[in-house]
Structure 1
């Protein structure tokens, strides 16, 4: 269900306010595309800041006196514009709790005005034009519909994360071996891609059967590669290589085959059509059911507890030595370590090891301090590993780089 705003001529303000309450209720329904909860800790922080404002020392050096929110803006970008530490967005919200009840409900066209008084800063919202509300709203005499569900600015640009919500998969050893497998293709084709038809069989247990549309889509994987901690070498899980999606057309069955005077029942594999392909597929690749879509909030925030021993395990995707901004990496901290979607971590580049030759006759082995090299945000967590988006980096991120709490 989508909420809509209807603009007509001569409608009293109180009627618009009543309609706005209804719209807000509709926008909060589970069917909405995104869900943005506010945690008690975030609300508490914002309330504390709201009482006194933010110290000027916490403002970004070039924080503008006013800014008009534009289509394409994100909460992260605006927080970074105003605050030294953008993950501390509750302070930004706390500047103006009376006008911005929910920081995820900031809309294009609104004007953010920065006020500085007695060493403190507050932020208020002003509608475009700066005109005060009147008893009657007059617009052109026509009905105009606009979706409200997606007009609020998001935390991050969703296209940076959405493709990875279905692609990376951490499995236990042996999971893929037990999954249904592609056994053949028409015309004995070797490499398969989007639009091709394939045939598959369940490795064990219940044969593949057509049920409902939502349950008949599968993801195709290959080669569960072990993910090892770069320092302890302990296997943290197995990452399956994502290849694409397929839809089940016909389930498995059996058929009686006559050979001379003999009759025997032989299995008939299931039929699937490949819907999308990230890489070429082949016989032997495995099928896992498409999981239900999760509605996740990516509210940037620092972890509640200190992060110790965190490190980059691998760079997702094609083999590259360094991950840049907006690329995805795997870290050795997961749900068991308290990682949650939205946690922001600082990236530390290991200091070089060298020999101190500054003193005549002295040759002492030393290691330079680790230096901060950017920020990343966790967007998907498994038991022992998590996937994170690199938000910013100075020199690129490599396997073995440390990750810590941003404060």
Structure 2
């Protein structure tokens, strides 16, 4: 796939520039839409082709048409450029992901094999990454809980439900609040929750921090601060709490999983049954277990024991993987994850483990 442009082609491009701009406007819009969606992505590097990338991410170069089809912003499979972001697709029944990138034309039935391009010496190859645009609303379980810097005690207009654009009045809490709640500073609005209905769940598991929105302090008074609601992820009410806002990247680089991990899903973030893809949940492993953001793990179930010839002896069947998740946030003993695939309903208490290659 030769990307060099000769002088004649360059002149033609300039002559057709107005048409190209109008034609590519829609493509640019599509790129913006794609990059705002949750999923696995990869940034194209110099020398990449869809043929090679299909082979690398899906173990077969012949699947490039499916990869191309999944990236509408690529209008010509011969023309992909370093820096472009493309969406990858998971192989069925696997932790690997497939990436759609520079592809041979549809008219070509049997494209000639291309020699893989190795990264330049000293240059680190680009790694696949997972995009989660809603990263700011990802909550966590922590023990002991975060000490709030303030609490909302009133809203302008005395509304029951607080939404984006509303002005709220915040009562500072704690010694550090005076330095944290200053004009221009941003803060995350949250609420404490019990992670489960168990009586001692906060002592044994920790306290769930349920993220509600983001506010920005606009004015400081002697005994209060006034803030504007910038984002409202969920319903915000009077008495909800504030903590300093820490910006997190929505691009999460994929990392190798830790061998020998075996743990349990605690519950979904909204305390519902984990119905499948892109549901947030908490697990009982964290930084103390070397869990890191960007790692992937398999969700599995133990098969029922079977009797042999109606005898008392029994044999346990091997466990079966039926889902996967990716780590979005880690605490010392817990982590927040997003379910990336599931072939059946996932419930609290399901087991997870290091993927088996």
TM-score higher than 0.5: yes
Distance (whole Å) between structure 2 residues aligned to residue 312 and residue 226 of structure 1: 11
Cα-Cα RMSD = 4.6
| 2:219 paired with 1:219 | no
Residues 115, 123 of structure 1: 8 Å contact kept: no
Distance (whole Å) between structure 2 residues aligned to residue 212 and residue 316 of structure 1: 32
Residues 129, 251 of structure 2: 8 Å contact kept: no
Residues 154, 170 of structure 2: 8 Å contact kept: yes
| 2:292 paired with 1:340 | yes
Residues 375, 393 of structure 1: 8 Å contact kept: yes
Distance (whole Å) between structure 1 residues aligned to residue 286 and residue 234 of structure 2: 28
- Judging changes above 3 Å, is the alpha-carbon distance between structure 1 residues 59 and 320 closer, same or farther for their aligned structure 2 residues? same
Give the corresponding residue for 2:331.
Answer: 382
- Judging changes above 3 Å, is the alpha-carbon distance between structure 1 residues 297 and 283 closer, same or farther for their aligned structure 2 residues? closer
Distance (whole Å) between structure 1 residues aligned to residue 231 and residue 312 of structure 2: 59
- Judging changes above 3 Å, is the alpha-carbon distance between structure 1 residues 377 and 210 closer, same or farther for their aligned structure 2 residues? closer
- Judging changes above 3 Å, is the alpha-carbon distance between structure 1 residues 402 and 86 closer, same or farther for their aligned structure 2 residues? closer
Deviations 1:218-270 (A, max 9, x none): 111112424699xx9972332211111111111131xxxxxxxxxxxxx3x21
- Counterpart selection for 2:161 from 179, 188, 191: 191
**CA offset at residue 115 of structure 1?**
9.9
Give the corresponding residue for 1:180.
Answer: 150
Give runs of aligned pairs for residues 21-36 of structure 1, distance below 5 A.
Answer: none
- Counterpart selection for 2:257 from 269, 284, 303: 303
Distance (whole Å) between structure 2 residues aligned to residue 107 and residue 66 of structure 1: 8
User: Is the radius of gyration larger for structure 1 or structure 2?
Assistant: 1
Distance (whole Å) between structure 2 residues aligned to residue 333 and residue 228 of structure 1: 20
- Counterpart selection for 1:155 from 115, 129, 132: 129
Give the corresponding residue for 1:145.
Answer: none
Distance (whole Å) between structure 2 residues aligned to residue 406 and residue 114 of structure 1: 35
**CA offset at residue 110 of structure 1?**
4.1
Deviations 1:349-369 (A, max 9, x none): 243479x5962xx67788665
Residues 71, 108 of structure 1: 8 Å contact kept: no
- Judging changes above 3 Å, is the alpha-carbon distance between structure 1 residues 399 and 353 closer, same or farther for their aligned structure 2 residues? farther
Q: Secondary structure at the match of 2:91?
A: helix
**CA offset at residue 287 of structure 1?**
0.6
Distance (whole Å) between structure 2 residues aligned to residue 65 and residue 185 of structure 1: 54
| 2:351 paired with 1:397 | no
Give runs of aligned pairs for residues 85-96 of structure 1, distance below 5 A.
Answer: 85-87=94-96
Residues 42, 87 of structure 2: 8 Å contact kept: no
- Counterpart selection for 2:277 from 305, 315, 325: 325
**CA offset at residue 393 of structure 1?**
1.3
- Judging changes above 3 Å, is the alpha-carbon distance between structure 1 residues 236 and 63 closer, same or farther for their aligned structure 2 residues? farther
- Judging changes above 3 Å, is the alpha-carbon distance between structure 1 residues 114 and 199 closer, same or farther for their aligned structure 2 residues? farther
Q: Secondary structure at the match of 2:135?
A: helix
Residues 313, 332 of structure 1: 8 Å contact kept: yes
Residues 332, 386 of structure 1: 8 Å contact kept: yes
- Judging changes above 3 Å, is the alpha-carbon distance between structure 1 residues 65 and 188 closer, same or farther for their aligned structure 2 residues? closer
Residues 377, 390 of structure 1: 8 Å contact kept: yes
Q: Secondary structure at the match of 1:64?
A: helix
Distance (whole Å) between structure 2 residues aligned to residue 68 and residue 372 of structure 1: 25
Give the corresponding residue for 2:173.
Answer: 203
**CA offset at residue 374 of structure 1?**
1.9
Give the corresponding residue for 1:170.
Answer: 141
Q: Which runs of 5+ in 2 are unaligned?
A: 11-35, 44-51, 74-84, 118-125
Q: Secondary structure at the match of 1:207?
A: helix
